[in-house]
Chains A and B, each alone.
Chain A
C-alpha cells in the first residue's frame, strides 16, 4: 500500500517538502549536538531533563489518546467509529515515533542506547517504558496495516488480529501509566510524588489526543474526498469534553492536597509554577495561560450549540490542545526540578538549537503522519468510488 503515498497533488508534495526541510534542519542541528554534547541545550545540573523529555511525555499522551476511537468501536460496537479507527491508530504510530526520537536525542550517549536491552534491568521503570512504547508501536503498525489492507481488498480483517486489537486497548493505558511512573516513584521530587500523576496524565491524554484527531478529521474533510463524518466528530467532541473536565478536576485535587497540607516540599513546585519562587517566575504567564485555555475550553464545550458548530469546535480543540501542551510539555518537567533538592532555584529555558532539534522531531512525526494518512485516505476514497 506504500505506493499510495507516492502519488499526490501539488499541495501534498509541497507539504511533504516542507516537512523534509524541517527534518533536514533538525538533523543537521542534531549532528552538532552529537558532536558537542547536550551542553548545546539549556539543561543543567539542576534541571537535568528539559524540553525533549517534556515533549516525549506529552506525545505519549497523544499516542494513548488514539485508544479513544478504538475502544468504543471494538468494545462497545459503536459502529460510527469504524470509519476512523485507522486514523487513531496511525496517529498513535506517528506520536510514538516522535516519543522514541525524543528519547534518543535526549541521550548523552545515544550509541549505547541498546545497553537497555543488553543489560536488562526490570527494576528500572525506563526499561518497562522501552517495552511498552515499542510494543504499542508494533501493535498499532500490525493492526492499522491489516485493517486497512482488508478494507482495500473489501474483505474482513483476519481473525488472528482480534487478540492484538483487544490487547492494544489496555496497552494504551499502560504506556501512559508507565510513563507517569517514571516520575512519580522518585523520592525527593515532591511535585511528581503523587498517586494522581498517572490518572492526570491519562485524562490529559484523552483530551489532547482526540482534540488533535478532530482537527485532523476536519483537515482531511477539507483537503480530500473522504469525510470522517459529522457524527464521529461529535462523539469525539464529547470525549474531549469529559476528558478535559476530568483533567482539570484531577489537577484541582492535586492543588487541594498540596496547598491544604502545606508541606513545603510539595507546595514549592506549584508555587514556583503559578506565582514564582524567590523572584524567579519564567513559567508563571505560561501556566496561567494554560489554565485559562483549559477553563475557557470547558465552558465552551459544555454548551451543546457550540460543540455542534464545527468551526467553534475546532477553536475549542485548539484551546484544549495548547492548554494541555503547556501543562505537560512545558510545566510538568521543569516544574519538578525547580526548586532543586537543595531548595535552590535554578530555572531552565530551552536554547535555539534545542528548539530546532525539537522541531525536527515534530517534522519527522508529521511526515510519518502525512504519509500514513495519505495512504489511509486514498484507500477510503478508492473504496467509496
Chain B
C-alpha cells in the first residue's frame, strides 16, 4: 500500500514536471502563431497613422480669455472618450481627463502674491503630461500603464488591478479612478471608444485612437489654433517651432519627470 502510494506520487510529480517543462515550448508556439495572426488581422499601423518619437503639446494660454473658451475643448474630450459625469452625483467619484485650474494650482510653488493679473485669473488647461520619465509607469506593478514608442503614456484597462499606485506616483494629479460603474453616468455613449468598468484607473491618452487614424487630438482640433501638437524630436515640427520662438513653462519641471505639455504664458 505504502509503496504504491509512493509510486503514484512519483509519477504524478514527474508528469507535473514534464508539463511545466513543456510549457515554454508551447508558449513559443502560441506566440509565433499569435504574431502571424495579428499581422493577418492588420495589427500593423495604418498608413495614414501619425507617428513621432515623442508627442508633445504647446498650449498658448494667450489665446484663451476665460473659462468659456476652454469648455468646448474639455467637453469634446470627455464626450468622445466616454468619460462619466459625476458632478451631479458624488464629487468624490469624479473622473477627469482634461480640466481647468488656476495658475496657482497648475503651478504651485511658482505662484506669488504678485502675479500678472491676466495670469492670475486665467484658466489653465491641465491634463496628463505624458512625461518622458513617467513615475506612474515605474510604479505600476502589472505594466497596465506603459510608455508607448511614440512617447504616449497609455493605460490597459483590462490589465489594471486598481491598486492606484500610479495615482500616488503622479505628481500632477492627472489620474482618476473608477470608484463605481461609470457606464450609467455617460450621457451619450461613443461606440468608437471603449467604456470602462469599475475599479480601474484612467487618464488622458493623447487621443491615441485618433492618431492611429491620422487625426490630431480632439482638444487640439477644438482649440482653434491655441494648442499645437507635434513631435518633440522633430526640429521641423510645429511644437519645436513654437518652443524656439516663445518662452514656455512646464508643470513641476524640477521633479525630472520630463513633462511634454508646454505652456506659453
Q: Which residues of A contact B (CB under 8 A)?
A: 36-39, 41-46, 48-49, 103, 106-110, 112-113, 115-116, 118-119, 121, 123-127, 130, 182-183, 186-189, 264-265, 336-337, 340-344
Contacts and interface: CB of A to CB of B under 8 A. Distances in A.
Given A44-B93, A186-B139, A107 B172 contact: no
Interface in B190-226: 197-201
Contacts of A123: 138
B141 A340 contact: no
Interface in B90-106: 90-95, 101, 104-106
B14 interface: no
Given A108-B200, A186-B139, A342 B162 contact: no
B138 A112 contact: no
A237 B140 CA distance: 41
Given A39-B90, A48-B164, A183-B168, 16 more contacts: A37-B179, A39-B93, A42-B92, A44-B92, A44-B94, A45-B94, A45-B177, A106-B164, A116-B142, A123-B138, A187-B257, A188-B172, A189-B171, A340-B173, A342-B172, A343-B108
Contact of A115 (B95, B161, B181): B161
Nearest to A124: B141
B142 A49 contact: no
Contact of B163 (A106, A183, A340, A343): A106
A273 B160 CA distance: 32
B160 to A, nearest CB: 7
Contact of B109 (A36, A108, A264): A264
Contacts of B106: 342
A160 to B, nearest CB: 20
A22 to B, nearest CB: 25
A341 B171 contact: yes
Contact of A39 (B169, B179, B252): B179
Contacts of A39: 90, 92-93, 179-180, 198
B167 interface: yes
Nearest to B177: A48
Nearest to B198: A37
Nearest to A113: B161
B26 to A, nearest CB: 16
A340 B106 CA distance: 11
Interface in B3-37: none
Interface of B: 90-95, 101, 104-106, 108-109, 126, 135, 138-144, 159-165, 167-173, 176-181, 197-201, 252, 255-257
A364 B197 CA distance: 29
Contact of B142 (A121, A264, A265): A121
Contacts of B200: 108-109
Contact of A109 (B95, B161, B167): B161
A243 to B, nearest CB: 28
Nearest to B111: A343
B172 A341 contact: yes
Nearest to A187: B255
Contact of A124 (B126, B140, B170, B180): B140
Contacts of A121: 140-143
Contacts of A37: 178-181, 198-199
10 contacts: A48-B168, A106-B163, A119-B159, A124-B141, A187-B135, A188-B171, A265-B109, A341-B172, A342-B172, A344-B105
Given A44-B93, A108-B199, A116-B161, A343 B140 contact: no
Given A44-B179, A186-B169, A341-B173, A38 B142 contact: no
A356 to B, nearest CB: 18
A110 B199 CA distance: 9
A15 to B, nearest CB: 34
A127 B139 CA distance: 9
B199 A187 contact: no
B181 A119 contact: no
Give the 5 A-B CB pairs with smallest separation, nearest first. Answer: A108-B162, A188-B171, A108-B199, A39-B179, A343-B108
A341 B141 contact: no
Contacts of B164: 48-49, 106, 108
Given A121-B143, A125-B139, A127-B141, A38 B162 contact: yes
Given A107-B161, A108-B199, A109-B199, A188 B138 contact: no
